[in-house]
Amino acid sequence: MEFKNKIVLITGGAQGIGASIVDEFLHGGAKVIIMDLMWSDNFSSSRNPNLREITGDVSRSDDVNRVVSQIIGEFGCIDVLVNNAGIIRDNVIWKMPEADFDSVISVNLKGPWLMCKAVAPVMRRQKSGRIVNIVSRAWLGNVGQSNYSASKGGLVSLTRVLALELARDYITVNAVAPGLINTPMTRKLDPEIFQKLEMALPGKRAGTPEDIAYAVTFLASGKARFINGQVLYVDGGRSIGGTSL
């Protein structure tokens, strides 16, 4: 079991893609701590003794520091950090409220920055660690997502900078960029729009949350020890081409 007794901190892991990432690490033997602000009605850590949940807002430094301190106090280390928490507030720029820009940047970019800032000293002392940031192929540009695309583009840049800053301490920092993934959130789209998005993919089908989880656990594993500062697209090839909408 690749992650047996490893301590894994995952933000936004209570539902959606995050929940699949949690399950994959648990399957690998890890002790997983979820930091989330929104808990689904059917979420219960009692389903697995290696799973803990802590309520906290990634965009607030006091919450981040409290959670990291609590984990270190209990386990003494953090082996893997997955920055998965994120929000979407879509609109074309001339209709987008300033508050929607600020909130998306705060959660999607400042949040991972705060998490990495808090966890980096821990991993540097350990002389080991893996950080995986969940970005999006939207960082390449999407209509109506000036806030979201900017936040994910910033997170790509943050990934590259931290990969350089932490490499000497045997810490890798990489990113996974999902494309269209079949989740409850995307299924709230108009069925006709969802179908058009699928048809724009080379393979004409959306991915699954498990597809993202497999990529994340690979980058967090020993098999990826010499991969650093990279963006792994999990989008069915959409980032390299596809049918125009």
Residue 187 backbone class (left: φ over 0; alpha: ψ -120 to 50; beta: rest): alpha
CA–CA dist 226, 229 (Å, integer)? 10
- 3 close to 15: Cβ distance less than 8 angstroms: no
Give catalytic status of residue 148 as yes or no. yes
Q: Which amino acid is at 76?
A: G
23 token code pair: 């399950």
CA–CA dist 37, 56 (Å, integer)? 5
- 27 close to 51: Cβ distance less than 8 angstroms: no
Q: How far is CA 7 from CA 33, 48, 60, 76, 130, in A?
A: 8, 15, 22, 9, 11
Selecting among 148, 170, 214, 233, the annotated active-site residue is 148
Q: Give the residue from 83, 64, 72 showing the smallest Cα distance to 21.
A: 83
CA–CA dist 126, 26 (Å, integer)? 22
166 token code pair: 């932490």
**Which residues are known catalytic residues?**
148
